[in-house]
Amino acid sequence: MNKAKLLILVGAAALLLVGVFLWFKSATPSDLNVKIVVFNNDLLLNDSSTIRYVADFTQKVHEYIVKANPLSVSLELFGSAGVYKPKMLIKRKPGERDFEWEKEILDSVRSLFTFPVRVTLANNEVNELFITFLRKSLEEPDAILIFAGSFPECYDHTSKMNLVQSVNSVLEKYRRRAEILNGIIDCRKGLEADVFDTLSARKNIRVETMNLPKITTRICEEKDLPVVYGMFFDSVKENDFEACLKYIQDNVGKKFVFTIWNSGPKNDYTIRFLNTTRDSVELKQQVAALERVKWSSSSIGFLFKHCYNTISNLPDSQKKYVFMIGHFPAYGSIPVLDREVFWPRLQKVKNVRYYHFVQNPNDKDREYIDALIHDKKIPVETSYQLVSR
């Protein structure tokens, strides 16, 4: 056998050995290092309204761990006083059956989520805890990072931007691979979701969002911030934005919590609008990227149903403002809402005011508003003069 053939055979054998080693390593049960951080825990306490969330959350964590087929699991819970629990190490006993080992894991995870006190953090405290947890966890190789609990109801745009900036600074320093499970309750677009989008944008980080029961969107209840919803039928052009914003502020005040409704991906984007230049720029960018609403059950029908489902779940005593913005879509021949069931329900929602803003209204817009006011008994104020019937 000549030298060239010998080198080829040696190389092939080496590659085969490496392949077998890697396969064996991937197929062998490993040790798992799981780190969990809890922010506000008020929605994780075992009361009747959130017990399903707690059960589903612990079950999802359990399934994720079991899927990795570990021989040992290190569990550590980060948080403020009343939440933090020291590291717990559980190991599979020789000869222990699968169902026994899996039950031990589940019991251990459940034991972490029993809290003696209710914890609510300020915005800056959430940011500090988030960064401290992220930095410490990334210092350990192969750690699984799980985010749980909720951010404050009044977590705002400025706090989010500060956290995103800090996250980027941390990620510049730590380049190792990381697995993250996002179990944050009510992860709002434009707020918490943007932070996790920042993490998932990194090639070395994989973020998985837990499929958990939806909890009614929480509202920032600061007295000086009205709750405002914008039902957008189209994007808002730059030259229309200032007039639209002025119309909203003339009716609700300079500062408010604003949620976008649209049949596109920006639906439910929320911003605490505090009348700063930064807020105006942020809101202008969001409403400029909206989809044109169409006459269908998944478009304009969705928006009105979403309107009812949201405002009907708010307290009767709370003032609600709904702004319909833009030209209504061309209507078709098939009804997209059950007129016998839907409209009477919407009529019964208390303490809500409806508005329609559009530059240069057309006949179709006037027809819609006329039908809402007179046929559906939904009182609507407009940015333009209406013609009496």
For 7, the token pair is 């080198």
Q: Which fold has domain 30-209?
A: Rossmann fold (3.40.50)
For the stretch 329-382, pLDDT in tens is 887 766 666 666 688 899 999 999 999 999 999 998 998 998 899 888 999 999
For 305, the token pair is 């149903």
Q: Is the pLDDT of residue 244 over 80?
A: yes
**How far is residue 146's CA from residue 104's CA, in Å, rounded to a whole number?**
19
**What residue ranges of the chain are covered by domains with CATH 3.40.50?**
30-209, 227-382
Q: What is the mean pLDDT of the segment spanning 8-34? A: 55
Residue 185: left if φ>0, alpha if ψ -120 to 50, beta else—which one? beta
| Sheet containing 380-382: order of strands | 270-273, 256-261, 227-232, 320-325, 352-357, 380-382
| Sheet containing 205-209: order of strands | 85-91, 72-78, 31-38, 143-148, 178-182, 205-209
For the stretch 200-235, pLDDT in tens is 998 889 999 988 777 666 667 665 688 899 999 999
DSSP string, 177-213: -EEEEE--TT--TTTHHHHHHHHHTSTTEEEEE----
Q: What is the mean pLDDT of the segment spanning 122-149? A: 91
Residue 4 confidence (pLDDT): 57
Per CATH, domain 227-382 is 3.55.50: no
